[in-house]
Amino acid sequence: MIDPRAMVSEQASIAPGVVVEAFARIDADVVVGAGTVIQSYSWLRGRTRIGRENRIGPYAAIGGPAQVRDPSAGHLQIGDNNRIGEYVSIHTGTAGGSTQVGNGCMLMAYAHVAHDCQLGDGVELANGVQLAGHVAVGQGAGLGGLAGVHQFSRIGRLAFVGAGAMVAQDVPPFALVCGDRARCFGINAVGLRRAGIDAVARKRLQRALRLVCQPSGEQRAIDELAELAASEGDPLLRELAQFVLLSERGVCRWVNRREARNH
C-alpha cells in the first residue's frame, strides 16, 4: 500500500492498511494508524502520532516545527477519522507541549494550526482559517473561511466564527461571531439545532449570551448568569458561565446597532 516513489523512513511506524501515495514523505518518529490515506507530496515529520482512518490531502505539511524563536520540538497528536485538506499545515507543540487534533475533524484547504493548539472532536476549519499558537477550539465548533484567531484565545463548544472574522478574545460556547474585531451576533442557531438543542434552551442561551457579552462589567454578568443557571437548572447555562468565568482575554462583545447595519 506504499507507492515505491514515496519516501518513508525505516524508523517510521506504519500500521497495516495505510496508503501512502507517490512522492509523499514520512520521516522517522512518525506513527500512522491503520486505514489512513496519505496523498501525494504531503510531508509528515516531527514527533507526530496519527490515528486511524484519517485522510491527509496532497501537499499537507504535518508535524513541522513551531514557528517561534526557539522551536524546541514538542508533540503532535491527531485522532481518528479526520479529513485534512490540501496544503494544510499543523505544527508540533513547543518544548514539553503538544498540539492536539481530536476525532472527526475537517480541516479544509490551506488551514493552519499552530503550535500547542487544542482542537476538540468534530471541529471544522474552512479554507484558509489561521489559528495562532495555544488556541483552543471546543467540540463541534466551526470557523468560516479565512477567519483568524489570536494567540491563547478560546473558541467555545458549538460556537461558530463567521468567514473573515478576526478573533482577538474568547468566543463563548454556542455563540455566533463575525467581523473585525469579532462581535457576538447571537447564538449559533443552526449548529445548536443540529446538536439537538431545543428551542426553549436556545432562547435561554440567546438571553444569557446577550448578558455576558455586554461591556457593562463581566463579573456582574457572570453572577447574574450563575443565578439564572441555578434557577433554570440548565447545564448549558452552567457551561457558559464557567467558560466566561475562566476567560483570561475577555469574551467577544455584543454587536451594536451600527456594526449590525454594516454587516
**Residue-level pLDDT at 122:** 98
For 3-20, write each residue's pLDDT tens digit: 999 999 999 999 999 999
Q: How confident is the model at residue 232 (pLDDT cuts 50, 70, 90)?
A: low
Q: Which residues of 51-65 are buried (b: 16+ CB within 10 A; e: fewer)?
A: bbbbbbbbbbbbbbe
- Phi, psi of 205, deg, nearest 5: -65, -40
pLDDT surpassing 60 at residue 217? no
For 65-93, write each residue's pLDDT tens digit: 999 987 677 999 999 999 999 999 999 99
Pair 210, 194: CB distance under 8 Å: no
Decide: pTM greater than 0.85.
Answer: yes
Q: How confident is the model at residue 216 (pLDDT cuts 50, 70, 90)?
A: low
For 163-210, write each residue's pLDDT tens digit: 999 999 999 999 999 999 999 999 999 999 999 999 999 999 999 999
- Phi, psi of 207, deg, nearest 5: -65, -40
**Residue-level pLDDT at 241:** 87
**Residue-level pLDDT at 262:** 63
Percent of the chain with pLDDT over 90: 81
Task: Dihedral sign for Cα 106, 108, 114, 115, please.
Answer: positive
| Whether the domain at 7-193 and the domain at 196-262 fall into the same CATH topology | no
Beta strands in 39-117 (DSSP E): 43-44, 48-50, 55-56, 61-64, 75-78, 83-84, 89-91, 98-101, 106-107, 112-113
Where do the domains of the chain lie? 7-193, 196-262
d(C-alpha 113, C-alpha 115), whole Å: 7
Q: How confident is the model at residue 257 (pLDDT cuts 50, 70, 90)?
A: low
pLDDT surpassing 70 at residue 159? yes
pLDDT surpassing 70 at residue 127? yes
**Residue-level pLDDT at 260:** 64
d(C-alpha 72, C-alpha 116), whole Å: 12
The CATH number corresponding to 7-193 among 2.60.120.380, 1.20.58.100, 2.160.10.10, 3.90.700.10 equals 2.160.10.10
User: Which grid cell sits at 214?
Assistant: 455586554
Q: 196-262 architecture in CATH?
A: Up-down Bundle (1.20)
d(C-alpha 195, C-alpha 78), whole Å: 24
Mean pLDDT of 50-65: 97
**Residue-level pLDDT at 156:** 98
Positions annotated as catalytic residues are 115-116, 133
**Per-residue DSSP letter, 13:** E
**Residue-level pLDDT at 259:** 63
Mean pLDDT of 56-60: 98
Q: How confident is the model at residue 218 (pLDDT cuts 50, 70, 90)?
A: low
User: 3-state class of 243 per DSSP?
Assistant: helix
Least confident of 22-31, 49-58, 64-73, 142-151: 64-73
